[in-house]
Amino acid sequence: MTMRTLALSGLLALSCFAQAEDIIYKKDGSILKGTITEQDFENGTYKIRLAGGSLFAVKQEDISRIEHDNTEAELEAVAAESRAKLQPQTPTATAAAAPAQQPTYIPLGQSPYSPYQQKEVQHVFYVGLMGKTITFDSGYNDVSYRYSGLNLAYQYNFSKHVGIYTGLNTGSLSTIEEDGVDYDYDGPDVDYSSLEVNVLLSTNLYKGWQFYTGLGAFSESFSAEGYEDDDYQGTNFVFGMGYDWGQVQAQLRVAIQDSSDYEDDETNTSSALQVGFNF
């Protein structure tokens, strides 16, 4: 057997034992090489088993990039070329070597091992119904004024857990409640409008169930023909829940308003039932 034949045979043997490798490059400069065994997108962690058998869990926020080393494919291409050279050549059959492949870059949050990818939602436009309730003691009984109308809003998500919400509410006085009894309001039109901006902290702002709370500021105005407008500003505490299907989501938000201009015994709350569109 010639030296050339020995070299080609060695390449064939090497290709049988070569294994593809996953490579995790961490932000602190360290590198982990092995096989990724688990990817937990909900908690943002990767588990990789090293060549020696050790299993490490790495947080996604500590990773700069992940590569999948296609060494196996490259060696197989060389082996195919070697086999073609060892076999007798005929005019009708020639061995074609596969081109070598470059290492594949895997974006964070995506996986070649799982068909599920959690979509990162950054922009959401909402449209829905709003309600505003003002409750106070009239001196004779408890009274609630209820306003209803339209809600339009936009939300920008900085990450899976932090976002900023801006909402516009417009409506009019529709119902008055006295001692638990509702009456349809049929007096002069009383219009309501408000603008609110809140910073949200959430268990999840991407696909799936969402539970969140937030704090911000609001400005609102009440107007009726023949009367001066009443304007109020203050702080807004919001909490809510919803579900995101990927392109569309549904939300229920409840907010408590507080202003130094309110009466001492006055309670102000608002709510919104929304449909959101991700873009």
Digit-coded pLDDT (tens) for 37-77: 887 777 888 888 887 778 888 888 888 888 876 665 566 66
Q: State the pLDDT confidence band at 21, using cuts at 50, 70 and 90.
A: confident
Residue 117 lies in a domain: no
Domain of residue 85 covers 3-106
Burial track 150-172 (b if 16+ CB lie within 10 A, e otherwise): ebbbebebeebeebebebebebb
C-alpha angle 25/29/31, rounded to 5°? 40
Q: Domain check: are 82 and 128 in the same one?
A: no
Give the span between the Cα atoms of 73 and 170, in whole angstroms.
62
Over 90: is that where the pLDDT of 9 sits? no
Out of 88-92, 197-201, 204-208, 259-263, which region has the weakest mean confidence (pLDDT)?
88-92
Q: Domain check: are 52 and 128 in the same one?
A: no
Digit-coded pLDDT (tens) for 97-106: 556 556 655 5
Residue 115 lies in a domain: no
Q: Domain check: are 30 and 56 in the same one?
A: yes
Q: Domain check: are 216 and 99 in the same one?
A: no
Residue 245 lies in a domain: yes
Domain tally, the chain = 2
Q: Domain check: are 59 and 130 in the same one?
A: no
Give the span between the Cα atoms of 208 and 169, in whole angstroms.
26
Q: Closest Cα to residue 165, out of 149, 177, 179, 152? A: 152
Using CB atoms within 10 Å of the CB of residue 228, give its burial: 0 to 12 exposed, 13 to 18 middle, 19+ buried.
Answer: exposed
Digit-coded pLDDT (tens) for 230-245: 999 999 999 999 999 9
The residue out of 106, 137, 157 marking a domain boundary is 106
Give the model's pLDDT for residue 71: 60
- Pairing type for strands 45-50 and 55-59 reads antiparallel
